[in-house]
């Protein structure tokens, strides 16, 4: 019989991260968010807790857990704030995971201990100004010159790419052509501070204001041939696998945001008085919150199902796309309703739901738009165009 309840180990982790989110993140994150500052202090505490090492083996400095554990942590963090959650998600599933999945033993021993500790953050350089959903349209190039790659091009919207503790960006670049003319796309580690590697000023974003996002440029950037991650020409396939996994993580994050909207709305509906009674006694408010809770519950079941399939070595591409699609849209719907329930207060930046409203929309865009998720689901059902 199926049992969707957490094991005691997972439940202990959930409670620990939930307490951290409430006691440490919640009191501080508003100021970071409004000032558009990266929360180094909070990130350092997350590192000491071992959150950045959750899914990695102990031999590389990790906690010996799994991807399910990471997603549990992401949901609880996003229940309070998405900037902190996306910092963890990008650092682990996008920054460190390519090295863990596809890197050489030397690369793993050089980078994973630092990444697992949270002392160093990694970034994932895929998106370009002209290649977002169509990542196969990569224009960045890497050409052999002796025992080095020479990289030229640019990347955009890259999370964790310009902090004081960013250590590397793994970028996709065209390293040659197949016989039919299609590009050979490879993954290459570019350490921070490499000459010719420039990080632009931070973006001015609608949301995720306490997370770090930049455009990157590469002007004759030279890195050793040994910085190639996996096989040459397999970078695109590798990053598709990373994105499939990352969609489960984003689904967990979206579930957390959706749950945070329920939490805040329940509390507000119980205390806000209108016409001589709490607004939560009005059926219209009760129905709104009931719908919000339903969406959150379904989102949680979806990401847990996809993560379980991943852990058991089963196909999970369709389920990851379903989870990501549903949870991101649930987060947007819940944030809209939470803002409505809170009225004018919900439109203030100082309120949690104000942050939720600003943060939710990117979930329908990042790591594959909702349109891409529908395309993937249809394709997995055997439909072609």
User: What topology is assigned to 237-380 in CATH?
Assistant: Butyryl-CoA Dehydrogenase, subunit A; domain 3 (1.20.140)
Q: Nearest-CA neighbor of 95 among 118, 66, 74, 69?
A: 118
pLDDT confidence of residue 4: 76
pLDDT tens-digit profile of 278-315? 999 999 999 999 999 999 999 999 999 999 999 999 99
Distances (CA, A) of 19 to 15, 25, 47, 186: 6, 9, 16, 41
Active site residue 367: yes
- pTM, two decimals, is 0.96
Q: In terms of DSSP H, where are the helices of the chain?
A: 8-20, 26-35, 40-49, 67-78, 82-89, 97-102, 105-117, 235-271, 283-311, 317-342, 352-360, 370-380
What's the rounded Cα separation, in Å, for the pair 374 and 380? 10
* Residue range(s) of every CATH 1.20.140.10 domain in the chain: 237-380
Q: Which residues in the chain come in under a pLDDT of 70?
A: 1-2, 133, 135, 385
* Residue range(s) of every CATH 2.40.110.10 domain in the chain: 123-232
pLDDT confidence of residue 350: 86
pLDDT tens-digit profile of 80-132? 999 999 999 999 999 999 999 999 999 999 999 999 999 999 999 999 988 77
Catalytic residue among 76, 232, 367, 371: 367
* Residue range(s) of every CATH 1.10.540.10 domain in the chain: 8-121
pLDDT confidence of residue 48: 97
Q: Nearest-CA neighbor of 115 among 58, 60, 37, 71?
A: 60
Looking at 3.90.79.10, 1.10.540.10, 3.40.50.170, 2.60.200.30, the CATH number of the domain 8-121 comes to: 1.10.540.10
What's the rounded Cα separation, in Å, for the pair 72 and 51? 11
Does CATH number 2.60.120.260 belong to domain 123-232?
Answer: no
pLDDT confidence of residue 131: 74
| E strand or H helix at 224 | strand 213-224
């Amino acid at each position: 019989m199926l049992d969707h309840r957490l094991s005691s180990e997972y439940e202990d982790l959930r409670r620990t991260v939930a307490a951290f989110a409430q006691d440490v993140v919640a009191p501080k994150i508003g100021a970071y968010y409004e000032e558009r500052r990266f929360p180094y202090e909070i990130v350092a505490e997350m590192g000491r807790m071992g959150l950045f090492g959750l899914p990695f083996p102990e031999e590389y400095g990790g906690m010996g857990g799994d991807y399910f554990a990471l997603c549990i942590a992401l949901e609880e963090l996003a229940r309070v704030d998405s900037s902190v959650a996306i910092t963890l998600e990008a650092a682990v599933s996008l920054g460190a995971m390519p090295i863990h999945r596809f890197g050489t033993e030397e690369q793993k021993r050089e980078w994973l201990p630092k990444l697992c500790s949270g002392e160093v953050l990694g970034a994932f350089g895929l998106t370009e100004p002209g290649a977002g959903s169509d990542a196969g349209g990569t224009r960045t190039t890497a050409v052999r010159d002796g025992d080095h790659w020479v990289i030229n091009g640019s990347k955009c919207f890259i999370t964790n790419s310009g902090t004081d503790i960013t250590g590397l960006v793994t970028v996709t670049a065209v390293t040659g052509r197949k016989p039919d003319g299609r590009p050979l796309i490879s993954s290459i580690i570019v350490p921070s501070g490499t000459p010719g590697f420039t990080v632009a000023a931070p973006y001015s974003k609608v949301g995720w204001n306490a997370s770090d996002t930049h455009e990157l440029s590469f002007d004759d950037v030279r890195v050793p041939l040994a910085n190639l991650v996996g096989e040459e020409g397999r970078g695109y396939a590798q990053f598709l696998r990373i994105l499939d996994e990352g969609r489960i993580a984003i689904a967990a994050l979206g579930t957390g945001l959706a749950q945070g909207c329920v939490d805040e709305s329940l509390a507000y509906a119980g205390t806000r008085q209108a016409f001589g009674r709490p607004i939560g006694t009005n059926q219209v408010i009760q129905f709104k919150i009931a719908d919000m809770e339903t969406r959150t519950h379904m989102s949680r079941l979806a990401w847990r199902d996809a993560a379980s399939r991943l852990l058991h070595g089963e196909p999970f591409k369709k389920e990851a796309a379903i989870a990501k699609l549903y949870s991101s849209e649930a987060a947007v719907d819940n944030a809209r309703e939470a803002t409505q329930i809170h009225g004018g207060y919900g439109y203030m930046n100082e309120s949690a739901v104000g942050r939720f409203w600003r943060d939710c929309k990117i979930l329908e865009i990042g790591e594959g738009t909702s349109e891409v998720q529908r395309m993937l689901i249809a394709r997995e059902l055997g439909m072609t165009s």
